[in-house]
């Protein structure tokens, strides 16, 4: 049993902290945001993540998971300190390190014995060393030792608990063997393989992994666009490519591009890190450009299908950047819906979870509905932006009766081909044959 403080109760901190508690450790999840901590203490979880609330309730009841807004006290009471604060994208594209630096300072001020400081936030290469320096400079007791470790996270929103409990690998980077061993032991109950390396390489692995996955997505999206022009079917192409074990079938689902808090931010940050190091990462910049252009295809396809959108009633199904989350960060809907409104369309939107987070971010003209059926009523076209299970399995026969025109623009290539053919929809996808 380790005594661990996890600083930052955002997505990463909350999920990792809860999973560490689940495998038997005593965790204090802390944050300077008192409102958030108070609601967590009352059992209100600020993010939507399947299974998270249940696991938090279970571990708080068992006394293994505590919440506190007294970060200093939590540091003093723990032997391992996880830094899991946000590193948002700044105007220049680089990661904003303000919160990481604040936490490092605080750790220095409260370092009352040997501790291992672990960085879980996605941070530029060299941050481990920076954290070490800040802690040293603010150490209250200069004779007290500490070590710094990089242990990046690879959780996906929507499946974070299972990703954490069944992780592919734990990447552990440190200059100290003793600290790396401690963090490796902490991961033993997960039964995962441990990849031990130096601090800088561990920090780079996180960026490189996200950039590579984003590259796979932009690559298959570009292939989808070519498939449309030459008469091939991208779903068959990605299946056929994915069977090659050197390529692998994952992250080859073509669509309107990636969103979320990670790929857009981390690809920008890595391109910026490369620029600063004197290397022009043209390949990654093209990945970002391809992704930005991909979401524009939706309105092009709509115009192709119905002519002008002016005065037309358009149903938009799915607002979140992906299913099983209410996260709207860099969601394609944030670019597509304002464009539809601008074109004079009357937009009717549905999302099973994300409506409340979407409302403040979307034009006020947008109307929201509780069911797919209500949303589709009298519509000239339906656009799918997120492949929620209820959207994928929607009743197309009913949809056909409710809609004025049977035009379906499937931005996620997710509607079963058989049902489209059976119900005779005018179907537009991203490089997939109807």
Check if the beta carbon of residue 152 is closer than 8 Å to that of residue 118.
Answer: no
Buried b (16+ CB within 10 A) or exposed e, 232-259: bbbbebbeebeeeeeeeeebbbbbbbbb
Contacts of 380 (CB under 8 A, 6+ apart): 306, 312, 313, 314, 403, 404, 405, 407
- Tell whether 155 is in a known binding site: yes
SS3 content of the chain, % helix, strand, coil (to 5): 45, 15, 40
Q: 227 catalytic, yes or no?
A: no
**Residue 97, both tokens:** 């390190």
Q: In this chain, which stretch among 37-45, 62-70, 154-162, 279-287 interacts with ligand UGA, using CB under 6 A?
A: 154-162
Q: In this chain, which stretch among 43-51, 175-183, 222-230, 247-255 interacts with ligand UGA, using CB under 6 A?
A: 247-255
Check if the beta carbon of residue 271 is closer than 8 Å to that of residue 285.
Answer: yes
**Is residue 157 a contact residue for ligand UGA (CB under 6 A)?**
yes
Check if the beta carbon of residue 303 is closer than 8 Å to that of residue 339.
Answer: no
346 phi, psi to nearest 5 deg? -100, 115
Minimum distance from residue 109 beta carbon to ligand UGA (Å): 29
**Is residue 217 a contact residue for ligand UGA (CB under 6 A)?**
yes
280 phi, psi to nearest 5 deg? -85, 105
Minimum distance from residue 34 beta carbon to ligand UGA (Å): 25
CA angle 79, 209, 240 (to 5 degrees): 140
**Is residue 47 a contact residue for ligand UGA (CB under 6 A)?**
no
Which entry of 19, 262, 382, 414 is annotated as an active-site residue?
262
Number of shown-chain residues binding ligand UGA (CB under 6 A): 20
Minimum distance from residue 218 beta carbon to ligand UGA (Å): 9
Minimum distance from residue 380 beta carbon to ligand UGA (Å): 26
* Distance of alpha carbon 351 from alpha carbon 355, whole angstroms: 6
- Tell whether 421 is in a known binding site: no
- Which residue of 73, 77, 105, 154 would you call a contact of ligand UGA, by CB under 6 A? 154
- Tell whether 33 is in a known binding site: no
Residue (16 or 25) nearer to ligand UGA, CB: 16
CA angle 242, 243, 244 (to 5 degrees): 85
- Tell whether 253 is in a known binding site: yes
* C-alpha dist (Å) from residue 367 to 33, 315, 339, 382, 421: 33, 10, 15, 14, 30
Minimum distance from residue 230 beta carbon to ligand UGA (Å): 21
**Is residue 183 a contact residue for ligand UGA (CB under 6 A)?**
no
**Is residue 321 a contact residue for ligand UGA (CB under 6 A)?**
yes
12 phi, psi to nearest 5 deg? -65, -45
Minimum distance from residue 161 beta carbon to ligand UGA (Å): 13
- Tell whether 251 is in a known binding site: yes
CA angle 70, 74, 78 (to 5 degrees): 175
Looking at residues 251 to 270 of the shown chain, list those that interact with ligand UGA (rule: CB under 6 A). 251-253, 255, 258-260, 262-263
- Tell whether 157 is in a known binding site: yes
- Tell whether 109 is in a known binding site: no
Q: Please spell the DSSP secondary structure of 89-148, one letter per residue.
A: B-TTSSB--HHHHHHHHHHHHT--S-EEEEE-S---TTHHHHHHHHHHHH-SSTT--EEE
Looking at residues 98 to 127 of the shown chain, list those that interact with ligand UGA (rule: CB under 6 A). 122
Minimum distance from residue 39 beta carbon to ligand UGA (Å): 23
Residue (16 or 346) nearer to ligand UGA, CB: 16
In 248-342 the beta strands, taken as DSSP E runs, fall at 313-317
- Tell whether 255 is in a known binding site: yes
- Which residue of 5, 95, 213, 355 would you call a contact of ligand UGA, by CB under 6 A? 213
| Residues that constitute the known binding site for NAD(+) | 31, 36, 87, 122, 157, 265, 329
Give residues in contact with ligand UGA (CB under 6 A): 122, 153-157, 210, 213, 217, 251-253, 255, 258-260, 262-263, 321-322
Catalytic residue positions, numbered: 262
| Residues that constitute the known binding site | 31, 36, 87, 122, 154-157, 206, 251-255, 259, 265, 322, 329
| Residues that constitute the known binding site for substrate | 154-157, 206, 251-255, 259, 322
């Amino acid at each position: 049993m380790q005594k661990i403080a996890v600083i930052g109760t955002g997505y990463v901190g909350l999920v990792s902290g809860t999973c560490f508690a689940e495998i038997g450790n005593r965790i204090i999840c802390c944050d300077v945001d008192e409102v958030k901590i108070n609601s967590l203490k009352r059992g209100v979880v600020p993010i939507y993540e399947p299974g998270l609330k249940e696991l938090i309730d279970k571990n708080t009841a068992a006394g293994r998971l505590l919440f506190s807004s007294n970060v200093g006290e939590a540091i003093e009471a723990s032997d391992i300190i996880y830094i899991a604060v946000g590193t948002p994208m700044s105007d220049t594209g680089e990661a904003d390190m303000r919160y990481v630096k604040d936490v490092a300072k605080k750790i220095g001020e409260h370092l009352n014995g040997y501790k291992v400081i672990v960085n879980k936030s996605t941070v530029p290469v060299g941050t481990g060393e920076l954290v070490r320096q800040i802690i040293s400079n603010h150490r209250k007791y200069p004779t007290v030792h500490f070590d710094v470790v990089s242990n990046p996270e690879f959780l996906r929103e929507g499946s974070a608990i299972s990703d954490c409990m069944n992780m592919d690998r734990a990447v552990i980077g440190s200059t100290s063997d003793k600290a790396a061993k401690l963090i490796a032991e902490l991961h033993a109950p997960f039964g995962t393989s441990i990849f031990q390396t130096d601090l800088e390489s561990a920090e780079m692995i996180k960026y490189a992994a996200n950039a590579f996955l984003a590259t796979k997505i932009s690559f298959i999206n570009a292939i989808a666009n070519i498939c449309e022009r030459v008469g091939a079917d991208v779903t068959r192409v990605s299946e056929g490519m994915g069977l090659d074990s050197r390529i692998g079938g994952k992250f080859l689902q073509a669509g309107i591009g990636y969103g979320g808090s990670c790929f857009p931010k981390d690809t920008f940050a890595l391109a910026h890190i490369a620029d600063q190091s004197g290397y022009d990462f043209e390949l990654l910049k093209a990945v970002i450009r391809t992704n930005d252009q991909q979401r524009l295809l939706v309105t092009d396809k709509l115009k192709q299908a119905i002519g002008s959108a002016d005065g037309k009633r358009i149903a938009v199904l799915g607002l979140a950047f992906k299913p099983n989350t209410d996260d709207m960060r860099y969601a394609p809907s944030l670019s597509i819906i304002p464009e539809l409104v601008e074109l004079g369309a009357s937009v009717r939107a549905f999302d099973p979870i994300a409506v409340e987070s979407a409302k403040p971010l979307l034009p006020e003209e947008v109307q929201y509905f509780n069911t797919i059926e209500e949303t589709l009523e009298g519509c000239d076209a339906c656009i799918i932006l997120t492949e929620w299970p209820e959207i994928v399995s929607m009743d197309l026969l009913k949809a056909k009766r409710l809609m004025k025109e049977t035009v379906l623009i499937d931005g996620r290539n997710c509607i079963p081909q058989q049902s489209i053919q059976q119900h005779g929809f005018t179907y537009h996808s991203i490089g997939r044959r109807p």
